[in-house]
Chain A
Amino acid sequence: MPRYFFHLYNDVEARDEEGVEMPNIGAARMAALQDARFTIAETIKAEGCFVGDHRIDIEDGEGNVLESIRFKDAVKVRG
């Protein structure tokens, strides 16, 4: 299975040095979406703040960015 790296860019830049093995990019995308929602929720709880431009980049083992999940695309806002 390929290894994908999930780098977080929000108020803290957290580079993923280990990566996680996933069956394909579709699975990696789903995981990054869940990761984004989790961090969004934690940040809202801790700081009451949501920044739509923060993102998680999915990279392959060669350092190529395969996808970028922006926080504003990870949630729906109503009302």
Chain B
Amino acid sequence: MIEKLLSKLRRFDTVSAEEEESLRAAVWKTVDFRRGQTIVRAKTELDHSDLLLEGFVNRSKSLVSGARLVLQLAVPGDFIDLHSFVLKELDHDIEAVSDCRLALFKHEQLRVVIEQHPHLGRLLWLSTVVDAGIHREWMLSLGRRSAESRLAHLFCELQVRLTAADMAPHGKYKLPLNQVEIADVLGLTAVHTNRVLQKLRQEGLLTFKSKNVEVLDWDGLVALAEFDPFYLSMNQQPR
């Protein structure tokens, strides 16, 4: 059930059979959510953390006007609110952007796991640190990348993260977001997002049709995005 999490952690470092077993045993239950449902609401007390098994979720914050920014997209294998283990309440909402399945871990059980397996605890800690790295990269995008480069960067990042989850064969993957949701990721309008998508298509870099992404020119996309996957820390080493 937690294979995608294990393969993600194994990109950081080796995970022993004992560590693997303790994580498997710590699953409390699985829960399904429908597209559009809120999984975690900000400022709500939490006693468990959610691991995404299937589907996509986003974390977002909004202004009173209704203007919203998607702060991160999570893909299967991401522990979407591991940080609630120490925060207890989140400052943002987490919403299902497709139908999805989650494995829930009680905080008290996670405490046992990381106390018995401190190395595994460090790998879980690292996964939240990498999340912060992703936020930093997105801040660079929002503040300094052009609209074209920002969109290119998003598609590069998703391809690398989905490939790690075995979900992007041959540069193709499903991205179940509508144009308004992509605009909320990029800080653009839906109309402008469409324009940029059209432009990247004309330049032969990628196509995005009926929620299907196909990267046609990976090197060109990487160059436009100035994408360097270093921030995803996908190199195995002792942690």
Q: Is the CB of B180 within 8 A of A39?
A: no
Residue of B nearest to A6 (CB): B191
Residue of B nearest to A41 (CB): B192
From DSSP, what is the main secondary structure of chain A's interface residues? Answer: mixed
> Which residues of A in the span 17-54 have a Cβ within 8 Å of any Cβ on B?
17-18, 20, 32, 34-36, 38-39, 42, 46
Interface window among B32-40, B91-99, B197-205: B197-205
Chain B residue total in the interface (Cβ 8 A): 17
Given contacts A14-B195, A16-B190, 15 further A-B pairs with CB under 8 A are: A8-B192, A12-B198, A12-B202, A16-B179, A16-B191, A16-B194, A20-B180, A35-B190, A35-B192, A39-B189, A39-B195, A42-B147, A42-B188, A42-B192, A56-B191
Q: Is the CB of A38 within 8 A of B192?
A: yes
Q: Is the CB of B194 within 8 A of A38?
A: no
Instruction: Say yes or no for B44: interface residue by CB 8 A criterion.
Output: no
Seen from chain B, the residues whose Cβ lies within 8 Å of a Cβ on chain A are 146-147, 178-180, 188-192, 194-195, 197-199, 202, 209
Seen from chain A, the residues whose Cβ lies within 8 Å of a Cβ on chain B are 6, 8, 10, 12-18, 20, 32, 34-36, 38-39, 42, 46, 56
Q: Is the CB of B178 within 8 A of A18?
A: yes
